[in-house]
Amino acid sequence: MEEAKGVVKHVALTKFKDDITPERIEELTKAYANLLNVIPSMKSFHWGKDVSAENLHQGFTHVFESTFESMEGVAEYVAHPAHVEYANLLIPCLEKFVIIDYKPTVVKF
């Protein structure tokens, strides 16, 4: 089960604080997406609200998913001043979050 080379997904699960309005969440989502225009190593961005029905999401409300071509690309992003500035805006609005990177791999039978 060899892992995919190159592509790295950077996934953030977030739970916004109860007093953060939908309008503010929309602004923060757009600002997150705008990092695509500023940080060259960030290749794509998708977001979505929790729509799960199993109730195994432990209160997380949103997923933010970015793609990079390498771990070096993720490191560039993490260290980039625009990301640092954005994180300082986002994190105070969150009750909790988890961020994980992985190389999406297909199982061949």
Q: Which residues bind a copy of itself (CB under 8 A)?
A: 1, 3-4, 8-11, 13, 26, 29-30, 32-34, 37, 45-54, 56-58, 60, 62-63, 65, 71, 74-75, 78, 97-107, 109
CB closer to a copy of itself out of 17 and 96: 96
DSSP 22-90: HHHHHHHHHHHHHGGGT-TTEEEEEEEE---SSS-STT--EEEEEEESSHHHHHHHHH-HHHHHHHHHH
Q: Which of 80, 83, 86, 102 is catalytic?
A: 80
| Catalytic, out of 10, 32, 62, 77 | 77
